[in-house]
Amino acid sequence: MKRARIYHRGRDIWVSVSADGQSLHLPDGSFIPADGASWLPPVTPGASSYALGLNFADHNKELGFAPKLATPLIFMKGGNCFVGHEGDTPRPADGNQMHPECELVAVIGRPARNVTSAEALDYVAGYTVANDYAIREYLENYYRPNARVKNRDATTPIGPWIVDAADVPDPQALAITTRVNGELVQNGTTADMIMSVAELVAYLSCHSTLMPGDMILTGTPQGVHFCAPGDRVVTEVEGIGRLVNHLVAG
Ligand SMILES: O=C(O)C/C(=C\C=C(/O)C(=O)O)C(=O)O
């Protein structure tokens, strides 16, 4: 099953999505086409969002970092940075080195505190896709993790929907791709994550109680490709969803 959040007739509502992703089932029992819907980020208001940087050895290598960091690079995302499927993302005038980062996102389903990796996936309700844009000019001379880069308004497209965990037999066996104006610029797999989804849930749950709706962005594979206003950026995680975003001047 898939669930999405849309803006419909003046209301912010959660809907179920047909298996083929083509229609949305409204709470009143009626259906509307998915094409043309006003997609909102499938983020629960008040939930926390954690993100992991440098979780793929090939991406770390292209950026000049060690293949594996001594400690995981965790940062937080505020609600302001999310924008839904088919949304616009502003690229600042001095952000010539802005690049998309396709990521699998795990959504927590029940409170998790000090859970083990072996049991961690039982606490995951579902999965979605994020494009955690980075702006390299803003990263190079600043400490990490960096809110100036990673928490800008509407710079993290997410969605289109959340797929139930029951429909994702192995979150570590999914292709991750990004296409910019049709050109393939990222082509990885969740199999190459340094910390798996289960290890991340367990690790984070030792520091913070993870609550229903909390999200974990799990990092991106190699493929730094600078984008410009006017670009159509499509990030996709196999079996989860295809997220479309439009870069605009900002
Ligand atoms: O891009 C960097 O230099 C590292 C970084 C974030 C990286 C990711 O989001 C990622 O690898 O998925 C940072 O904030 O410093």
The domains located in the chain, with CATH, are 1-40 (2.30.30), 41-249 (3.90.850.10)
- DSSP letter at 202? H
Neighbouring-strand partners of residue 236: 177, 242
Q: Whose CA is nearest to atom 6 of ligand 1?
A: 53
CA of 156 to the centre of ligand 1 (A): 13
CA of 57 to the centre of ligand 1 (A): 12
- pLDDT at position 135 is 94
- pLDDT at position 149 is 82
CA of 54 to the centre of ligand 1 (A): 6
CA of 53 to the centre of ligand 1 (A): 4
Residues with CB under 6 A from ligand 1: 53-54, 59, 63, 101, 132, 134, 139, 144-146, 149-150, 219-220
CA distance 173 to 184: 19
Listed residue (86, 76, 94) closest to 159, CA to CA: 86
Listed residue (178, 130, 182) closest to 154, CA to CA: 130
> In terms of residues, how long is the chain?
250
Global pTM reads 0.96
Pocket test for ligand 1, best of 74, 75, 144, 217 (most atoms within 8 A of CB): 144
pLDDT tens digits for range 138-173? 887 666 667 888 888 999 999 999 999 999 999 999
- pLDDT at position 8 is 97
CA distance 172 to 222: 17
CA of 37 to the centre of ligand 1 (A): 31
Ligand 1 atom closest to 146 (CA): 14
End-to-end CA distance of the chain: 36
Ligand 1 atom closest to 54 (CA): 11
Ligand 1 atom closest to 132 (CA): 9
Mean pLDDT of the chain: 96
Q: Is residue 123 scored above 70 in pLDDT? A: yes
Write the CB contacts of 81 (distance below 8 Å, at least 6 apart in sequence).
Answer: 150, 151, 152, 153, 154, 155, 156
pLDDT tens digits for range 48-70? 999 999 999 999 999 999 999 98
CA of 209 to the centre of ligand 1 (A): 24
CA of 23 to the centre of ligand 1 (A): 35
Ligand 1 atom closest to 75 (CA): 14
Least confident of 10-24, 134-148, 205-219: 134-148
- pLDDT at position 106 is 98
The encoded tokens of residue 161 equal: 């929907």
- pLDDT at position 151 is 84
Q: Is residue 209 scored above 80 in pLDDT? A: yes
Q: Whose CA is nearest to atom 4 of ligand 1?
A: 53
